[in-house]
Amino acid sequence: MELSEIADVKVEEGELVKKGQLIAVLEASDATMKLAEAKAQLQQTLASLNDLKLGKRPEEIDVLNATLRSAQAQAKHSQNVYDRYQGLLTRKVISQAQFDEVETALLVAQARITELKAQLSVAKLPAREDQIAAAESQYEMAKAKVDLAEWLLEKRKIYAPEDAKVTDVFLHSGEMAGPTAPVASLLPVNSIKLHFYVPEQRYGQLKLGTKFNARCSGCTTLQALQITHIAEGPEFTPPVIYSLETREKLVYEIQAKPITTHSQLRPGQIFDVDLDSLQ
């Protein structure tokens, strides 16, 4: 996504959003204009392609037919004059030169009819295969431009990639958003997990899928969780662990996720784990 001005922000901090829900809309007047231009070009190339496949337009064929009828009428008149002059030549009323002139006029009129009929036949044929192939190529290119313009326009809308909670809204209408300037921060609902550490004597009691209870600091109700990860080896107690016991013991990292979607877990919270509640 390129740097763009924000037109509207559709969510607020703390809001739960569904996958595919609209988060924000970026200014898209330029992208809309490019899409309109691409669609106009597509229609133009389609019209040209159809014209080549169908041959001349009906109006152009009508003009050729009218010209042919006029030429046929002229040829008929020339034939009548020729027939009359043949008799006059026999009776020596006219000269051979006069007769030759009339005969030439008849031949020209007949040749004109032949020419117009050929033009009419060609006009009814589609264009050559190479011309049609070139037009089809231009049409496919125009379609690709429309697809690209539609994709770029859709990129001016920001959607939630999955079910999540809006933890922060950084930018608002009129501000610039881009790859390094996000509009909002989302926390996927299934990404929250509890990290805790157990001593070696408890390690053997834990299995993937084991359920237990935990309580966050200040919470009045227990949170049911299920183990999703058990470390393969021990480590020294991390310095970030809040514990009343010594930190010099070797412990094993355990990860667990809430069983229900309505979890009290929040990033950075402190929880007390009840290992006696293992199920």
* Domains of the chain, start order: 1-27+156-188 (2.40.50.100), 56-125 (1.10.287.470), 194-277 (2.40.30.170)
Q: Are 5 and 176 in contact (CB under 8 A)?
A: yes
Does the pLDDT value for residue 69 go beyond 60? yes
Q: What does pTM read for this prediction? A: 0.53
Does the pLDDT value for residue 279 go beyond 70? no
Q: How far apart are CA 82 and CA 100, in angstroms?
A: 9
Does the pLDDT value for residue 242 go beyond 60? no
- pLDDT band of residue 126 (cuts 50, 70, 90) is low
Does the pLDDT value for residue 42 go beyond 70? yes
Instruction: Provide the sign of the torsion angle of the four alpha carbons 95, 96, 98, 102, taken in this order.
Output: positive
Q: Are 138 and 150 in contact (CB under 8 A)?
A: no
Q: Are 276 and 227 in contact (CB under 8 A)?
A: no
| pLDDT of 184 | 92
- pLDDT band of residue 141 (cuts 50, 70, 90) is very high
Tell me what the mean pLDDT of segment 169-180 comes to. 89
| pLDDT of 22 | 93
- Which of these, 60, 72, 79, 52, lies nearest to 117 by C-alpha position? 72
Give, in order, the Cα–Cα distances in Å from 278 to each of 39, 102, 206, 229: 63, 120, 8, 15
Query: Residue 129: what are its φ and ψ, rounded to 5°?
Result: -60, -40
| pLDDT of 53 | 74
| pLDDT of 114 | 87
Does the pLDDT value for residue 103 go beyond 90? no
Q: How far apart are CA 9 and CA 25, in angstroms?
A: 6
